[in-house]
Amino acid sequence: MSKTKTNKDLVKQAHRAVELLEQAYPDPECSLCYKKPHELLMSVRLAAQCTDARVNMVTPELFETYKTPQDFALADVADVERIIASCGLYKTKARDLVGIGKMLTEEFGGQVPDTMEELLRLPGVGRKTANLVLGDVFGKPAVVCDTHCIRITNLLGLTVGKDATKVEMQLRNILPMDRANDFCHRLVLHGRAVCVARRPQCGNCVLNVCCDHALGLAAQGKGK
């Protein structure tokens, strides 16, 4: 992010990026499969250091076996481990899923809470997970700062740094918050299709007209 940019400049650039991605990906949606709020919450926990595709392979059995937060509260951790073993870090994740079930049952009446503060109290839940639940389940303004979001907004010049919380706060200052949640979903789609880590296809990127990285390459005659 250029030191010469004003906040007004960043807002304008952010809005342009939002508009371009809306045109490129008109139907953004979470790539995790779920039917109930607690299923999304738990799926995001499973997705840590694991692909969404892998999570979607294990959750059908998981959510068929344990249908409610109350079921998870009473679950045998070893059985949860068995079901999710292919996700990686499965022992910690299994413990967290059972812990989430217990807290939802004992403190929230079996319902997923709808505030950042309450969600962050749940085992293994950080701001990324909480933001995704708030945005997708409750329709609240949210900025889901995953690796795609951090990497691409750094390249665009909208944010600086790799700290997810700091990047989230930078984006909250410049994004149209009523479109921020979908913007983050679109960044995931774009990061997988075009702005791929270590080999971004700047020449084929709809954002290259407002991206500091792409414009810098073009100025050097290196755009591809």
Residue type, 215: L
Q: Exposed, middle or buried: residue 152 (CB in 10 Å: 0-12, 13-18, 19+)? A: buried
State how far the Cα of 92 lies from the Cα of 206, in Å rounded to an integer: 40
Sign of CA pseudo-dihedral 169, 175, 178, 183: negative
Q: Which residue is catalytic, options 9, 114, 146, 212? A: 146
Does the active-site annotation cover 146?
yes
Q: Which residue is catalytic, options 93, 96, 128, 182? A: 128
Q: What is the 3-state secondary structure (H, E, C) of the chain?
A: CCCCCCHHHHHHHHHHHHHHHHHHCCCCCCCCCCCCHHHHHHHHHHCCCCCHHHHHHHHHHHHHHCCCHHHHHCCCHHHHHHHHHHHCCHHHHHHHHHHHHHHHHHHCCCCCCCCHHHHCCCCCCCHHHHHHHHHHCCCCCCCCCCHHHHHHHHHHCCCCCCCHHHHHHHHHCCCCHHHHHHHHHHHHHHHHHCCCCCCCCHHHCCCCCCCHHHHHHHHCCCCC
Does the active-site annotation cover 212?
no
What positions carry a catalytic annotation?
A: 128, 146
